[in-house]
A and B are shown apart, each in its own frame.
Chain A
Amino acid sequence: MHRPTTGTRYYIPDDGKLKMKNKIYPFYFSAGAVLLYSLFMVLPGLLGFFLSFTDWNRYSSEINFIGFQNFALIFSKKNYWNSIINTVIFTVVTIGLKTLFALILALLLTKGLKRFFNFHRAIIYLPSIIPMIVVGIVFKSILHPSSGVLNEFLRGMGLDFMAQKWLTNPDLALYSVALVDTWKGVGFIMVILIAGILVIPVEYYEAAQIDGANQWDELWNITLPLLMPTLTVTTVLNLLYGLKVFDVVWVLTNGGPGYATETVYTLVFKEFSKGRYGVSTALSTLLFVIMSICGYWLIKMMHSNELEA
C-alpha cells in the first residue's frame, strides 16, 4: 500500500544482479541521522580539509589562504617526517603482533583448550576495557629501569643483560609502546577471530580428516583461507587504529625521549595546543589521505587473496 515518495528503488544483492525494490523506507526516516551526520562529521571534515590550506592560528583573528605552505613545512622538517615514520613503524609492528598473538590465542581457545575457555577468553579480553590512563600508570611503573617489576624480574633470573631502559632508550621506546598496545588490544582482535573461526563449518574439518589431513593441513588449507574475511576486518581495524594512535604514546612517553616516539597525532595535539591550527589540521588531512590510501589498498589486496584462495 505504502509507496515511497522519493529515494532509490534499486539495490544490488549478493548475487550481483540488479533488482527493483518496491518497499523501501521513505527518505525522511533517515533525514535526522543524515542531518546530524552531515553537521557533526561531514562539515567538520570538509572544514578541516579547507583549513589545512590556511594560516589559521590562535594569535590572529584573520585566516588567510596560503596554498600548500603547511604541507611544505611538514615535508621539510625532520620532526614531522620522523613522526610519520614512527606512526608507520608503530602501525606495522602492532598489526603484526596483534594479528599473530590474537590468532594463536583464538586457535588455542577454540581448538586447543577444552575447559574453562570462556574464563580464559574473559581474562585475555580484560585489558581492552581498562582505561588507557590506568594502563599508562601501571606500565610506567612496570617498565621503570631501576625499580620496575620487569627489570627486577629479569635481574632476579640472572638475565641482567636483558634489563633495559624500556621507555627512555630512544632505540627501544617505540617498540615498548607498541608491545604495551599489543597487550591491551590483542583480546579485542582475539574475540573477533574466535567468532570467525566458530562460523567455519565443522564438516570441512571432518572431510579433511577423512582425507588424512593433519592439524597443520587444516590450519593452512581450511582455517586460514576461510578466516581471511575476518582477518581483513581485523587488519583494517588495526591499521586505522595504528595510524591514528595517540593515547598509549601520550600516557607512556609523551612522544619522548626527545622525538623518539612522536607520532602524527601526538604532533597534531601539540601543534594545536601551540595555537598553530593550520599546521595541525594539515597534519590531520595528510594522515586522512594516508589512511584512505592504505585502507583501500589493503582491502583490495586482501580481497584479491581471498578470491585466489
Chain B
Amino acid sequence: MNSKNMLLKLLGLMMILGMLVTACSTPATTTATEVPAPADTEEPAATEETGFAPGTTLTYIASQNWVLDSEIELAKKFETETGVHVDFQIIPSDQYFNVLETKLEAGGEGIDIFGGQSGKTDIQLQLDVKKNAVPLTDEEWVSRMNPLSVEQISLDGVTYGLTIWDTIGGSWVVVYNKQMFADNGLSVPTTYAEFAAACQTLQDAGINPVYEPFADGWHHVLWFLEMGPVYEAATPGLADALNANKATFAGNPTMTTALTELKEMYDKGYFGEDALSNEFANTEAVMAEGKYAMTVNRFGLPSQINKAYPDVAEDNFGFFVIPLADNQIWNVNPAAPSKFIYSGSKNIEAAKAYFEFLTRPENLQFMLDNEAQFTMLNFEGVNAELTADQQGFIDTYKEQGTVYQTAVNYVNPQWMDVGQTLTAMFTGAVTPEDVLAETDQRRADMAISAGDEAWK
C-alpha cells in the first residue's frame, strides 16, 4: 500500500515537473511566425501572393546609427508589399556588440537579421558568419554590389551579408567651418604643425577648435586607426607584416607620433573643456550653432546639418584629411555596417526577400536621395550628385589608402577597447606607447585563441 502511494506521488511529481518544463519552454519555441495574424482584412491577400505566413515579423537587431531613416521607410513599403513586418531593435553603440554576442551565444533569441561591421577579421572572429549567417552568394544583388564591399563581406568565396553604405564618400575626414577659418585667416592645414597652429589661433579667438565626442567610446578611435594610410606610407608593407606577426604596433614611430600629437591636442584643450562628456548625437547641433570649428565626420555632415538647421548653408563646410603625423592621404574603408541573416532564423526566405527589396535600384536611389550623410552608394546603377566641396576634396587628395581597422587583422574587434585605452591615455593613466603595446597584446590574445598560424 505504502509503495503504491509512493509511486502515485512520484508520478504526480513527475507530471507537475513535466508541466513546468512545458510551460517554461513554450515561449522559447514560439516564433514570430506563430503569432496570430492581426484582424486586418487586407493582409491575408498580400501574404497569399508572397507566400509568407500571416503576421510574419523579421526581428532586425542593429547598432545605433546603422539603421537609416530611409530604410525604415522602405521597410514600411516592404510590409505593404509582402505583409512581412520588420521590427527594428536599435541598441546603443557602446553596448551593441556585447548584446549581439550574448544573444548569438544564447542561440539567437529570436533574431532574424543582425547588423555587423564588414571586414574579413570582423565577420570571421566577431560575428563568426560561417556559423551564424546564411550564405547569400547566389543572390542577384551580389553582382551589383561594389567588388570591394563584396570582398569584405565574404569568406572563402562565400558572401554572407549585404552592405548598403557610402564606402567611398563615407570616409572619416575633418569637416571644418569655412567662415570661421576665413575670419581667422586660416587655410586648410597640410601638416600637423599647421593644424595645431590653426587650433591655437581658433582657441585664442575664443572658439573651441575641434568637437570630439569621446563619451560614445568609439569616435575618438578614428584619429588613431583611420591613419592607416600614413602608417603604411612610412613603412611600406606594414599591414602585411602585422598580419604575419612580423611587426608590432609598439615601437612604430609613425603611430607613436600620431598618438603623441593627439594627446597634445587633448592636453592643450583643443577638444574643448568638457570633451569627455561630448556625445556624437550632438554633432550637428554644436556645428550648426558655431560652438566648434571642426569635427571628424563624413562628407554627408554638412547636408545633415542643413537638413536639421536650414539656416546653416551646406557650403559653409569644407573637408580635409586628418593631418596627424602629417598625413595627406585619403583614408578609405571598404568595410561598413552590414546586414546578415541569422542562420537560426525561422524566417530566412522572408529576410532574403527583404534584402532583395532593399537592393532594387529604385529603393537604393531612394536611400541615397534621402540620406543626407551619403554622397554615393556602393551599388551599380545609383546616381550620385557631388557638391563643389566634396568634389574639391576628391580633386585635392589623389592618393588613397586603406584604414588599419580593415587592413590589419584583429584590430576592428577591439575597437571599443582601443577607445578605452585612448581615454586612459588622455587622462594620463597610460602613455601612447602603452596604447600601442596593449593593442598588440589584444591582437595576440585574439590570434592565439583563433589558432592563427602566424602566432604559433
Q: A interface vs B, CB < 8 Å?
A: 5, 28, 31-32, 35, 55, 57-60, 144-146, 165, 167-168, 170, 254-260, 269-270, 272-276
Contact = CB atoms under 8 A, between A and B. Distances in A.
Is the contact region of chain B dominated by helix, strand, or loop, or is it mixed? Answer: helix
Given A146-B277, A256-B420, A32 B449 contact: no
A97 to B, nearest CB: 24
Nearest to B429: A258
B273 A258 contact: no
Nearest to B422: A258
Contact of B427 (A5, A35, A260): A260
B81 interface: no
A58 B125 CA distance: 8
Contact of A258 (B101, B430, B451): B430
B383 interface: no
B429 A28 contact: no
A61 to B, nearest CB: 10
B277 A255 contact: no
A276 B449 contact: yes
B420 A255 contact: yes
Given A170-B429, A254-B217, A257-B427, A32 B17 contact: yes
A28 B7 CA distance: 12
Contacts of A273: 97-98, 101-102
Contact of B277 (A168, A269, A274): A168
Contact of A59 (B423, B428, B449): B449
A257 B94 CA distance: 14
Interface magnitude class on chain B: 35 or more
B98 A258 contact: no
Interface in B428-456: 428-430, 445-446, 449-451
14 contacts: A28-B9, A60-B449, A145-B274, A165-B274, A165-B276, A167-B277, A168-B276, A170-B429, A258-B427, A258-B430, A259-B429, A260-B429, A269-B98, A273-B97
B109 to A, nearest CB: 15
Contacts of B105: 58
A58 B421 contact: no
B34 interface: no
A166 to B, nearest CB: 9
Given A32-B16, A259-B420, 15 more contacts: A28-B10, A55-B449, A58-B105, A59-B446, A60-B449, A144-B277, A168-B276, A256-B217, A257-B276, A257-B423, A258-B420, A258-B423, A258-B424, A270-B98, A274-B417
A146 B98 contact: no
A58 B449 contact: yes
Given A146-B277, A273-B98, A32 B13 contact: yes
Nearest to B445: A276
Contacts of B214: 257
A218 B446 CA distance: 62
Contact of A145 (B6, B277, B414, B430): B277
Contact of A170 (B9, B427, B446, B450): B427
B274 A146 contact: yes
Interface string B405-431: 000000001100100110111111110
Is the contact region of chain A dominated by helix, strand, or loop, or is it mixed? Answer: loop
B128 A256 contact: no
Nearest to A73: B445
Nearest to A259: B424
Top 4 A-B pairs ranked by shortest CB distance? A258-B424, A168-B276, A273-B98, A59-B450
B274 to A, nearest CB: 4
With a 10 A CB-CB cut-off, give which of A5, A31, A170 has the most chain B CB atoms: A170
Contacts of B417: 270, 274
B101 A60 contact: no
A254 B423 CA distance: 12
Given A32-B16, A60-B450, A276-B449, A256 B277 contact: no
Contacts of A260: 424, 427, 429
With a 10 A CB-CB cut-off, give which of A32, A145, A256, A269 has the most chain B CB atoms: A256
A3 to B, nearest CB: 10
A257 B276 CA distance: 8
Contact of B273 (A146, A272, A274): A146
B420 A60 contact: no
Contacts of A59: 125, 446, 449-451
B307 to A, nearest CB: 24
Contacts of A146: 273-274, 277
Interface string B198-238: 00000000000000001001000000000000000000000
Contacts of A272: 98, 102
B431 to A, nearest CB: 12
Contacts of B451: 59-60
With a 10 A CB-CB cut-off, give which of A31, A59, A144, A145 has the most chain B CB atoms: A59
Contacts of B450: 59-60
Interface in B81-130: 94, 97-98, 101-102, 105, 125, 128
Contacts of B425: 258
Given A57-B449, A260-B427, A273-B98, A168 B274 contact: yes
A127 to B, nearest CB: 23
Contacts of B428: 170
